[in-house]
Structure 1
């Protein structure tokens, strides 16, 4: 049969193993500092049981009070650790007050009536019921643990409280010479045995709580990591966008320099040609000299205008429209090519020289010069380049027609992009910016440029511009294709 000492040894082994287990769990997860209180609680219960086992058959009053107080201290530590673990209010003052009450009452009981254990059993029941009620209150308030697990733990605590109350009732109602059952040799051994079973079940519930807490922490850390990864992706996207914007700005700056260089070449070519002609003619033809000097002056004016245009803010000084007659525009273009000694290859046909346009003379002149320059570059000297200008359905239509190399059919949709040159044009010098600039300048005027071409048979560039009317060109147009 199981005597009281055997049951105490079993309870000691159980409490000791549980205390050691909580020490290892705490060392594995140091951030769960509350587990130290659980380890201390089970350790105090094991220590109290050990002292009870080691004391003699006739213990002194002080040892009786001390041993039972150590066990009650373990219960207080368990309640403190559980409250801290659940993040609930800690009623430490209740545990300290009950320990003081326990010491005073037990000291008086063993001093004045050492043979009467009823008062000690009743006081232990009050102590147990109050402390476990505090633990149940924390579990009821908690929302961090699974509901089923919380209520199972509450059920265990209620069962132990019921067993403590039953022990008090039995001590009060049963006679002192009541014979215990054949298995439990002591009338109080059953209470210690069910207490051991309670410790095992309570330990299991606490382990599940710690597991649930670690799982919740893992999920929170995982969610936080996902949020951080998403935030880093957003930051990476913003950084890439910034880098792309910086790269686009650098490309735009490089494009600006190329376009400026392209536009500077034309007036500089006029100046060079005029200087060469002056050197050849000299004083033999004052009239020719004056004509060349005039051409140099016009070329310099155009060069200064181009410089001002490229150095100015597009929104303030870039687009400067004015009322312009079609004949004047064609005359300026004709003069430009005459000054570069290429005018004899051009044939101009203007149906109505008095047709009015609301346009920027420099921009529109640059468009015409670029188109005619391309025609001259990629066409033979005979036949001549034909430039026609006429009114058509509320618009001015200007056509530049050549009998040159034309545009390959599979490359027609890319003509007009920045720096793109047709494969059959590589033999001639160029940058691929003339048509691109023409598209951009025409966009200011609400105009269009279309290219009709057959590979090896020539190209016709068709410019369509609205007749005189206000055109807003404050926004820089985007890149267009032919």
Structure 2
């Protein structure tokens, strides 16, 4: 005959190890949070078995009730953990109801008939049938696990239900099997032995279910990753096609700009030549005729300048630099001659020009910057005022300042100045394209330089952090370029840090 206490010790050790195994599995795979409920169920059963082992041959009634209730709590947790793991509606409320009913029934039998062990056995059987039926229904409805694994688990649960029914039947038909004692004896050891086998089988079934769950999760993740890779490849292909189309469009735009500028320059040159011929042929033209000839020349010059701005912007976008040695005095003479051709040179006032004969830069780009700044100053200043120009060296920087007495820049629009096609709100009465300052900033970027605007009334000659006051006080445009030019490879940030 099997020894009941030995079986209880063996079953306690096995169940405790299973509880530890599920706790470790839960810590390894936290995303399967249901494993902690299963671990709690095995832990409760192990604790209940430990209480059974420790109680003596004549235990108190409350001890009998406590031991059985703790084991039944473990069964409820196992049922709830299984339903949650399979994604089915939880059965915790039903399990608590069955637990309370079992507790009241066993408690009443212990108070009214403490020697009637059969009543407690029948109550335990009914409790087991109810909880096992819930788990079987969960497995039947599940489609996440393989069919063979679900049916093996169902057969295992059905076997335990059959063993419980068999024990109740034996107690009912053969009362001598319980000996009319208050507790179980060795004659009932077979029931605990098959219960031990059931827990081992249930543990293995759950273990395989977890393995299948992880395998399916991995397969789903691999499928999602494959879809994401395919989508990224598709997007990369579309992006590459878009970039190719954008490059082709930009190339066509550049070709169009060059073609249009060439077509514009031809008639403009003819108009300029015709105007010069008229000026030569008419020795003493009338004032009205002379005024119109000057207007024609001025219009042609401005149209040519506008074309140069567009071409400079396109050229800057292509990143073509023609680095050469520049003489700052020659640069100022070129600027003066440029505005002399449009009869505006008399308004230029060079307040300070320091000679620098060994500065390396793109001469055309740098000249375009100065001409654009001076043209802006002339355009937005009263026609009788002068535009001050200074070119000097300070703190290892080449400084170019263009100062006017014009309409200035509204304070709230300082941050927008320099955007492509942006024009301040107080410039509506004057024609313009909004490309002058934008072109200057883009060309200066290639020289590691910077452009800043400040009100003429501001203090200092190199401040770029002031916020503009009310319009009408004039503007000072300041260009800062590394004195080393484009041959040293130094960045603008390095020069500024070294001189701060």
Give the gaps of 5 or more residues in structure 1. Answer: 284-299, 301-306, 308-482
What SS is found at the alignment partner of 1:176? helix
Distance 1:265 1:2, change over 3 A: same
Q: Distance in 2 between matches of 1:178 and 1:64?
A: 16
Q: Cα deviations across residues 133-154 of structure 1 (Å, max 9, x unaligned)? A: 0000011111111111111100
What SS is found at the alignment partner of 2:186? coil
CA shift, 1:212, in A, is 1.0
Q: Cα deviations across residues 204-246 of structure 1 (Å, max 9, x unaligned)? A: 0001111111111111122222222222223323332332232
Look up the match of 1:221. Answer: 221
Look up the match of 2:206. Answer: 206
Look up the match of 2:133. Answer: 133
Q: Distance in 2 between matches of 1:192 and 1:219?
A: 40
CA shift, 1:95, in A, is 1.2
Q: Cα deviations across residues 67-103 of structure 1 (Å, max 9, x unaligned)? A: 0010011000001111111111123222112111111
Q: What number of residue pairs does the alignment pair up?
A: 282
Q: Cα deviations across residues 163-219 of structure 1 (Å, max 9, x unaligned)? A: 00001111111251689xxxx982210010010010010000001111111111111
Look up the match of 1:236. Answer: 236
Distance 1:178 1:63, change over 3 A: closer
Contact 2:170 2:177 survives alignment (8 Å): no
Q: Which stretch of the first structure deviates more once superposed, 1-10 or 129-138?
A: 1-10
Look up the match of 1:119. Answer: 119
CA shift, 1:265, in A, is 7.4
Query: Does residue 109 of the first structure (1) align with residue 135 of the second (2)?
Result: no
Distance 1:274 1:120, change over 3 A: closer
CA shift, 1:270, in A, is 8.0
Q: How does 1:357-376 map to 2 (within 5 A)?
A: none
Q: Distance in 2 between matches of 1:277 and 1:37?
A: 102
CA shift, 1:11, in A, is 0.7
Q: How does 1:74-473 map to 2 (within 5 A)?
A: 74-176=74-176, 186-260=186-260, 263=263
Look up the match of 1:69. Answer: 69
Q: Cα deviations across residues 111-156 of structure 1 (Å, max 9, x unaligned)? A: 2222221111111000000000000001111111111111110000
Distance 1:62 1:282, change over 3 A: closer
What SS is found at the alignment partner of 1:76? helix
Distance 1:76 1:247, change over 3 A: same
CA shift, 1:282, in A, is 13
Look up the match of 1:286. Answer: none
Look up the match of 1:29. Answer: 29
| TM-score under structure 2 length normalisation | 0.52
Look up the match of 1:16. Answer: 16
CA shift, 1:264, in A, is 5.9
What SS is found at the alignment partner of 1:114? coil
Q: Distance in 2 between matches of 1:64 and 1:277?
A: 126
Distance 1:223 1:158, change over 3 A: same
Aligned-residue RMSD, C-alpha: 3.1
Contact 2:177 2:187 survives alignment (8 Å): no
Distance 1:202 1:50, change over 3 A: same
Contact 2:171 2:178 survives alignment (8 Å): no
Q: Distance in 2 between matches of 1:112 and 1:265?
A: 118
What SS is found at the alignment partner of 2:116? coil
Q: Distance in 1 between matches of 2:92 and 2:6?
A: 34
Give the gaps of 5 or more residues in structure 2. Answer: 284-299, 301-306, 308-500
Q: Distance in 2 between matches of 1:35 and 1:177?
A: 38
Contact 2:178 2:188 survives alignment (8 Å): no
CA shift, 1:273, in A, is 10
Look up the match of 1:442. Answer: none
Q: Distance in 2 between matches of 1:178 and 1:133?
A: 27
| TM-score under structure 1 length normalisation | 0.54
Q: Which stretch of the first structure deviates more once superposed, 65-74 or 207-216?
A: 207-216
What SS is found at the alignment partner of 1:188? helix
Contact 2:86 2:144 survives alignment (8 Å): yes
Look up the match of 2:48. Answer: 48
Which structure has the larger Rg over C-alpha atoms?
1
Q: Distance in 2 between matches of 1:261 and 1:97?
A: 90
CA shift, 1:278, in A, is 11
